[in-house]
Structure 1
Amino acid sequence: MDTPGNGPLPTLRKQRNGVLMLDPFAEIVGVPVSDPDGLIVSPYNAMPLECCIKKWAPGPTLGRTNTLQLIWKVGGVERVADFVVFDEISFAAATFPYSLYVPAHYMMDFDAVIELRYRVVEEGSPDVDSPPRMLRLDRNPPVFVSPSDHPEFVDSDIASSGITESVLANYEFIEIKVPKFLVRERDDQVALYLSDETPPFPMIYDYIQTFHFIDEPLVLRVHRDLFRALPNGRAYMTVRAYDRAGNYSPLSASMDFMVNLIPSPGRLPPPEIRPPAYYDLLLKRDDARAGIAVVIPTQYDGYAPGDAVVVLWHGRPVAETPITGFPFTVTVPWSILRIPGPLMRESVPVQYEIRRAGRPPFPSPVRSFETDFTIAGQDHANAPALLNASLTKVQVFGNGSGLFNELDLRDRIAGASVWVRLYMDPQPGQVLSLYWGNRGPVAYYTVQPGDVYDQLIRFVPDVSGSLVVEEGNHPGLPVHYTTSNGVNEQLAPDTLVNVHVDPLIDFPDPEIKHTLHGSVPYLTCASRPAICHGVRWKVPVVAPMDVGDVIYFFWQGFRANNWSDPILGTEFEGSLTLISEHFINGAEIVVLPWETKIEPMRNFASATAKYFVYRNGALLGKSSEGPKGRVRIDRKSPGGDYPCQPGDPGFCDGTDLQWLPAAVDDTRE
Structure 2
Amino acid sequence: MSGKENPGYPLARRNGVLALDPFAEIVGVPVSDPEGLIVIPYREMPLVCWIKKWAPGPSLFRDNTVELIWRVNGVESVADSRVFNRADYLAAPDPFSMSVPRNYMLYFDAVIELLYRVKEPGSPDVDSPFRTLRVDRNPPTFQLPSDGPRFVDPSIAATGITEQVLADNPCIEIELPAFVARAKGDRISIYLSNVTPPFPLIHTVIKTLNFTDEPLIICVDRDHFRALPNGTAYMAGRAYDRSGNFSPLTASTSFPVSLIPSPSGLLAAVIRPPAYLDSLLKRDDARAGIAAQIPAPQYPGFMTGDEVVMIWNGQRVLPPLRITGFPFSVPIPWSILRQPGPLVREQVPVQYEIHRPGRPTPFPSPIDFFWQDWTIAGQDHAGAPAKLNLTLAKVQVIGNGSGLINELDQRDRVLGASVWVRLYVDPKQGDVLALYYGNRGPLAYYTVQTGDAFDQLVRFVPDLSGTDIVAEGNHAALPVFYTTSNGVNEQQAPETLVNVHVDPLFDLDAPVIAHSLHGGAKLLTCESRPATCHGVRWTIPIDSRMLVDDEVRLFWQGYKVINWEQPILGTEFEGRETIKDEHLVSKSVPMVVLPWDTKIEPMRRFASATAEYYLYRNGVLIGHSSMGKVRIDRVFPNSEEPCQPGDHGFCDGSDVQWLEAPERSPSGQLGKLNELIDKLIKLLQDFKTFK
Change (3 A) 1:39 1:634: farther
Aligned to 1:362: 363
Aligned to 1:569: 570
Q: What whole-Å deviation, never above 9, does each CA across 1:163-186 have from its counterpart, x for those lacking one?
A: 222222222222222111111122
The yes-or-no answer on 1:99 pairing with 2:97 is: yes
Contact 2:280–2:373 (CA<8 Å) still a contact in 1? no
Following the alignment from structure 1 to structure 2, what is the Cα–Cα distance between the partners of residues 138 and 541?
Answer: 126
Q: What whole-Å deviation, never above 9, does each CA across 1:440-469 have from its counterpart, x for those lacking one?
A: 455678x79x87756967556x65433322
Contact 2:152–2:174 (CA<8 Å) still a contact in 1? yes
2:106 partner letter:
M
Following the alignment from structure 1 to structure 2, what is the Cα–Cα distance between the partners of residues 532 and 217?
Answer: 123
Q: CA deviation at 1:407?
A: 3.3
2:613 partner letter:
Y
Q: What whole-Å deviation, never above 9, does each CA across 1:370-392 have from its counterpart, x for those lacking one?
A: x5647784573454433355766
Q: CA deviation at 1:502?
A: 0.6
Structure 2 portions without partners, runs of 5+: 1-7, 671-691
Alignment TM-score, normalising by the size of structure 2: 0.80
Q: CA deviation at 1:249?
A: 1.0
Change (3 A) 1:536 1:130: farther
Following the alignment from structure 1 to structure 2, what is the Cα–Cα distance between the partners of residues 392 and 23?
Answer: 88
Change (3 A) 1:78 1:516: farther
Contact 1:188–1:241 (CA<8 Å) still a contact in 2? yes
Change (3 A) 1:14 1:147: closer
Q: How does 1:388-467 map to 2 (within 5 A)?
A: 388=389, 398=399, 400-401=401-402, 405-416=406-417, 424-426=427-429, 434-442=435-443, 459=461, 463-467=464-468
Following the alignment from structure 2 to structure 1, what is the Cα–Cα distance between the partners of residues 90 and 238?
Answer: 52
Contact 1:434–1:442 (CA<8 Å) still a contact in 2? yes
Following the alignment from structure 1 to structure 2, what is the Cα–Cα distance between the partners of residues 617 and 204?
Answer: 89
Change (3 A) 1:124 1:541: farther
Q: CA deviation at 1:251?
A: 0.9
Contact 1:145–1:181 (CA<8 Å) still a contact in 2? yes
Aligned to 2:609: 607
Following the alignment from structure 1 to structure 2, what is the Cα–Cα distance between the partners of residues 471 and 402?
Answer: 19
Following the alignment from structure 2 to structure 1, what is the Cα–Cα distance between the partners of residues 179 and 28?
Answer: 27
Contact 1:269–1:298 (CA<8 Å) still a contact in 2? no
Match of 1:291 among 289, 292, 309: 289
Aligned to 1:648: 647
Task: Output the aligned Cα RMSD.
Answer: 4.0
2:510 partner letter:
D
Following the alignment from structure 2 to structure 1, what is the Cα–Cα distance between the partners of residues 391 and 98?
Answer: 77
2:512 partner letter:
E
Q: How does 1:573-592 map to 2 (within 5 A)?
A: 573-585=574-586, 586-592=588-594
Q: CA deviation at 1:149?
A: 0.9
Aligned to 1:248: 246
Contact 1:425–1:452 (CA<8 Å) still a contact in 2? no
Aligned to 2:506: 505
SS at match of 1:476: strand
SS at match of 2:636: coil
Change (3 A) 1:69 1:557: farther
Match of 2:224 among 223, 226, 241: 226
Aligned to 1:4: none
SS at match of 1:263: coil
Contact 1:49–1:103 (CA<8 Å) still a contact in 2? yes
Following the alignment from structure 2 to structure 1, what is the Cα–Cα distance between the partners of residues 56 and 612?
Answer: 127
1:637 partner letter:
F
Name whichever of 66-75 and 516-525 sits farther off.
Answer: 66-75
Following the alignment from structure 1 to structure 2, what is the Cα–Cα distance between the partners of residues 383 and 64?
Answer: 93
Aligned to 1:8: none
Aligned to 2:263: 265
Aligned to 2:88: 90
Following the alignment from structure 2 to structure 1, what is the Cα–Cα distance between the partners of residues 124 and 117?
Answer: 11
The share of aligned pairs that are identical, in percent, is: 59
Q: What whole-Å deviation, never above 9, does each CA across 1:15-36 have from its counterpart, x for those lacking one?
A: 9999876555443322334444
Change (3 A) 1:619 1:93: farther
Q: What whole-Å deviation, never above 9, does each CA across 1:489-524 have from its counterpart, x for those lacking one?
A: 554544444422111222333333333333323333
Change (3 A) 1:372 1:168: closer
Contact 1:14–1:20 (CA<8 Å) still a contact in 2? no
Aligned to 1:386: 387
Aligned to 2:523: 522
Name whichever of 650-659 and 319-328 sits farther off.
Answer: 650-659
SS at match of 2:285: helix
1:387 partner letter:
L
Following the alignment from structure 2 to structure 1, what is the Cα–Cα distance between the partners of residues 343 and 94?
Answer: 55
Structure 1 portions without partners, runs of 5+: 1-12, 665-669
Q: What whole-Å deviation, never above 9, does each CA across 1:248-275 have from its counterpart, x for those lacking one?
A: 1111111111112221112335544434
Q: CA deviation at 1:280?
A: 6.8
Following the alignment from structure 2 to structure 1, what is the Cα–Cα distance between the partners of residues 183 and 539?
Answer: 122
SS at match of 1:619: strand
Aligned to 1:551: 552
Q: CA deviation at 1:71?
A: 4.2
Which one has the largest radius of gyration? 2
Q: What whole-Å deviation, never above 9, does each CA across 1:299-344 have from its counterpart, x for those lacking one?
A: 4333345533233446665445232421332112345556976655
2:603 partner letter:
M
Contact 1:271–1:351 (CA<8 Å) still a contact in 2? yes
Q: What whole-Å deviation, never above 9, does each CA across 1:163-212 have from its counterpart, x for those lacking one?
A: 22222222222222211111112232222112221111111222222332
Name whichever of 633-642 and 450-459 sits farther off.
Answer: 450-459
SS at match of 1:90: helix
2:500 partner letter:
V
Q: CA deviation at 1:608?
A: 2.1
Contact 2:235–2:253 (CA<8 Å) still a contact in 1? yes
Name whichever of 433-442 and 37-46 sits farther off.
Answer: 433-442
The yes-or-no answer on 1:165 pairing with 2:167 is: no
Aligned to 2:211: 213
Change (3 A) 1:568 1:68: farther
1:593 partner letter:
P
Following the alignment from structure 1 to structure 2, what is the Cα–Cα distance between the partners of residues 433 and 209?
Answer: 72
1:638 partner letter:
P
Match of 1:621 among 620, 623, 628: 623
Aligned to 1:331: 331
Alignment TM-score, normalising by the size of structure 1: 0.82
Name whichever of 485-494 and 352-361 sits farther off.
Answer: 485-494
Aligned to 1:3: none
1:333 partner letter:
P
Name whichever of 604-613 and 299-308 sits farther off.
Answer: 299-308
Q: What whole-Å deviation, never above 9, does each CA across 1:640-663 have from its counterpart, x for those lacking one?
A: 232223333343445552789969
Q: How does 1:5-154 map to 2 (within 5 A)?
A: 23-55=21-53, 57=55, 59-60=57-58, 62-118=60-116, 131-154=129-152
Contact 2:292–2:330 (CA<8 Å) still a contact in 1? yes
Q: CA deviation at 1:221?
A: 1.4
Following the alignment from structure 1 to structure 2, what is the Cα–Cα distance between the partners of residues 274 and 149?
Answer: 58
Change (3 A) 1:502 1:182: same
Aligned to 2:685: none
Q: CA deviation at 1:350?
A: 4.6
Q: CA deviation at 1:418?
A: 5.8
- How many residue pairs match? The answer is 642
Following the alignment from structure 1 to structure 2, what is the Cα–Cα distance between the partners of residues 125 and 315?
Answer: 78
Contact 1:372–1:487 (CA<8 Å) still a contact in 2? no
SS at match of 2:576: strand
Following the alignment from structure 1 to structure 2, what is the Cα–Cα distance between the partners of residues 88 and 394?
Answer: 98
Q: CA deviation at 1:72?
A: 3.8
